[in-house]
Chain A
Amino acid sequence: GAGVSQTPSNKVTEKGKYVELRCDPISGHTALYWYRQSLGQGPEFLIYFQGTGAADDSGLPNDRFFAVRPEGSVSTLKIQRTERGDSAVYLCASSLGQGPGNTIYFGEGSWLTVV
């Protein structure tokens, strides 16, 4: 596609429920990132994929958060036993490669509200 596509754009869920957020990166981009942005703050890194493998998951806040990218393209961020503090915008981004000269492009985000 022309840009990074994220679904759903908005999700309201009850505390304790399981949530999946999907990201479809720009075609041909091998690097994929997940970030989380709270109101009034900059995006915070969660996890980075190079191909199918998670090269850096140091930003995942706890073991309720998990992400996969089984075929090296689409990625899913999975949140178990959601808490109200998980409410935020979850941003996906991709780049052509992993080197610093590769521009990182962001999607529009998935707005998650836990009630």
Chain B
Amino acid sequence: EDQVTQSPEALRLQEGESSSLNCSYTVSGLRGLFWYRQDPGKGPEFLFTLYSAGEEKEKERLKATLTKKESFLHITAPKPEDSATYLCAVRGDSSYKLIFGSGTRLLVRP
């Protein structure tokens, strides 16, 4: 069964304090690993798609990396506006649906 586990559940950082969020997954035939950002009361906002181990993508202070078992979302010198829940999801070769983790709630304090 396809499964996604995210850690930590919550993370508090000081502004400028870099850190990483983890997404561990098991999936039959990875067709894509997705990172989304979700603000309170809003829908998930697409950040990145990674397709194969070794792939990396960057956007502003965020960098996503992928191995055969996990993905990391690295946040460099975060700002308070980076505070949100970050969701990881995978898509396997057995269907079109995304399987989501429970997310990491990030709070960046000024």
Contacts and interface: CB of A to CB of B under 8 A. Distances in A.
B99 A45 contact: yes
Contacts of A79: none
A40 B105 CA distance: 9
Given A48-B96, A56-B97, A98-B96, A42 B87 contact: yes
B43 A100 contact: no
A42 B31 contact: no
Interface residues of B, number: 25
Given A56-B97, A103-B49, A41 B44 contact: no
B97 A59 contact: yes
A29 to B, nearest CB: 13
Instruction: Determine chain A's interface SS by DSSP, over half rule.
Output: loop
Contacts of B100: 42-44
Nearest to B99: A45
Interface residues of A, number: 26
B93 to A, nearest CB: 9
A107 B49 CA distance: 18
A100 B32 contact: yes
B57 to A, nearest CB: 13
Contacts of A104: 34, 46, 98
A31 interface: yes
B43 A107 contact: yes
A41 B102 contact: yes
Contacts of B36: 106
Contacts of A107: 43
Contacts of B49: 101, 103
B87 A45 contact: no
Interface string B38-50: 0001111110010
A105 interface: yes
Interface of B: 4, 31-32, 34, 36, 41-46, 49, 51, 87, 89, 91, 95-103
